[in-house]
Amino acid sequence: MRIVIIVSDFPKVTETFVLANALHYLDAGHDARIFHLKPFRTGEVIHGHAQRAIERGFTFGWLSFGGLMWALGRPRRLGRVVAQIVRGFAKEPKRLAASLAIVPKSCALARACARDGTGHIHAEFAGYPATSAWIAATLSGVPFSFSAHAHDIFLTQSLLAEKAQDARFVRVISRFNRDFLAALPSFPADRLEVLRCGVSLPEPTPTPSPATPWRLLFVGALLPRKGVEDLLEALSRLADLPIHLDVVGGGRLREGLEAMAQQMGLDVTFHGAQPSDAVRARMRDAHLVVVPSKQGDGGRSEGIPVVLMEAMSEARPVVASRLSGIPELVEDGVTGRLSGPGDPAALAGAIRAALTDWQGTLEMAQRGRARVAEHYDIQKNAAALLARIEEEAA
């Protein structure tokens, strides 16, 4: 069966689950393709094993006249989706313009799906990818579904209910997201299914023994909602503990964060973006992986960060924010430690507790790995999502 996966950006190193799902579908004998709304991203650091999925990416031009002409042959269907987009985003002109901008290439995708016998369309996000999938499915008659992760449902709820009503199912990655969507007016709660994201499970390696200094690790984009400035402030409150922090990731805040760390006299190394195998290696060398996320502008928020799943799959201790679906993975005092988002003092307390009760922290890390193995194994979860897609396409 041909399965079309829709994303906005491709490839994107922070969306490794997209490639993992595509590889699973390919290994299961399906013809998986990845349709990206924006131009192909050159310069992303992608591991070589994902090349098969990278080669399955494709897109169409923003002004796909052939697709529009084909769609005009189905005027009632095309008129319906355009009218619903206009009504849905009437009070959000920027999102209205962006949604209308993807109509031509979504029409081209619809034509391609109708002609090549595509069996199912799945959008990996509830925003523009789901809008594109909805347009293509409405015009072509191919069944579709979409996933809801994080800020794709928090930034705006416009048109979410309409898309869900036409979808075969809506996959949510956490109970938090399920409850959030189910509470929306007119949203069909019976379409919601919790199918978690996941990571690959490596062979276990010994956790580093207590050492001087303690090695802490942050992995992520250097953006305000990632909370790196809160982490630096927290470390300034832990001057009595010898700590070295490695920061892996790039972003517009790097220069300011480097200056902040230097001014505070902290022992921090900024490494920039690194490939996934290098990130995993740094996790194995770390005593503690810290994910101090907080809500960003306009409601941007984490779902369940991949970096947490990866660190816990390595049986590495974690400290994270009590935010969105994170507590479903990091249960405070059981599989890791939590602190309030945007609260450097609480974050410092959680880090101190983790380092001073090292034996208890190691026991939490082992329980964390067990939780990932049970609920966040990418092979199991990709297989579950594929089973639902196969069921709807049957």
Q: For 191-223, what is each residue's pLDDT tens digit?
A: 999 999 998 889 888 888 888 899 999 999 999
Amino acid at 8: S
pLDDT tens readout for residues 84-109: 999 999 999 999 999 999 999 999 99
Res. 299 pLDDT band, cuts 50 70 90: low
Residues 360 and 383 both lie in one domain: no
Residues 389 and 297 both lie in one domain: no
Residues 222 and 177 both lie in one domain: no
Q: Please tell me the predicted confidence (pLDDT) of residue 47.
A: 63
Residue 31 forms beta bridges with which residues? 2
Is 209 within a domain?
A: no
Is 203 within a domain?
A: no
CATH number at residue 223: 3.40.50.2000
Residues 190 and 231 both lie in one domain: no
Residues 162 and 118 both lie in one domain: yes
Is 15 within a domain?
A: yes
Number of neighbouring beta carbons within 10 Å of residue 94: 8
Q: Please tell me the predicted confidence (pLDDT) of residue 302.
A: 81
Number of compact structural domains in the chain: 2
Residues 25 and 164 both lie in one domain: yes
Res. 70 pLDDT band, cuts 50 70 90: very high
d(CA 101, CA 63): 9
Q: Please tell me the predicted confidence (pLDDT) of residue 225.
A: 92
d(CA 361, CA 339): 15
Is 350 within a domain?
A: yes
Residues 232 and 143 both lie in one domain: no
Q: Please tell me the predicted confidence (pLDDT) of residue 44.
A: 66
3-class SS of residue 211:
coil
3-class SS of residue 271:
strand
Q: Please tell me the predicted confidence (pLDDT) of residue 394.
A: 63
Closest CA to 33 of 153, 119, 134: 119
Is 208 within a domain?
A: no
pLDDT at residue 2 is higher than 80:
yes
Closest CA to 164 of 180, 175, 155: 180
Q: Please tell me the predicted confidence (pLDDT) of residue 13.
A: 72
3-class SS of residue 28:
coil
Mean pLDDT, range 2-13, rounded to an integer: 92
Residues 86 and 231 both lie in one domain: no
Residues 19 and 111 both lie in one domain: yes
Mean pLDDT taken over the chain: 93
Res. 230 pLDDT band, cuts 50 70 90: very high
Q: Please tell me the predicted confidence (pLDDT) of residue 373.
A: 96
pLDDT at residue 49 is higher than 80:
no
Mean pLDDT, range 146-161, rounded to an integer: 93
Res. 326 pLDDT band, cuts 50 70 90: very high
Closest CA to 181 of 165, 197, 196: 165
More confident residue, 151 or 38: 38
Residues 250 and 151 both lie in one domain: no
Res. 162 pLDDT band, cuts 50 70 90: very high
Q: Please tell me the predicted confidence (pLDDT) of residue 100.
A: 97
Helix, strand, coil percentages, rounded to 5, for the chain: 50, 15, 35
Is 206 within a domain?
A: no
More confident residue, 276 or 362: 362
Q: Please tell me the predicted confidence (pLDDT) of residue 103.
A: 97
Residues 348 and 370 both lie in one domain: yes
Host domain of residue 324: 214-375
Residues 35 and 169 both lie in one domain: yes
Please check whether residue 187 is in contact with residue 216, taking contact to mean a CB–CB distance below 8 angstroms: no
Give the ranges where the chain is alpha helix by DSSP (H): 16-27, 51-54, 65-72, 75-88, 93-101, 103-116, 128-140, 151-154, 160-166, 175-182, 228-236, 254-264, 276-285, 306-313, 326-329, 344-356, 358-375, 378-393
d(CA 307, CA 148): 18
Q: Please tell me the predicted confidence (pLDDT) of residue 42.
A: 80
Is 224 within a domain?
A: yes
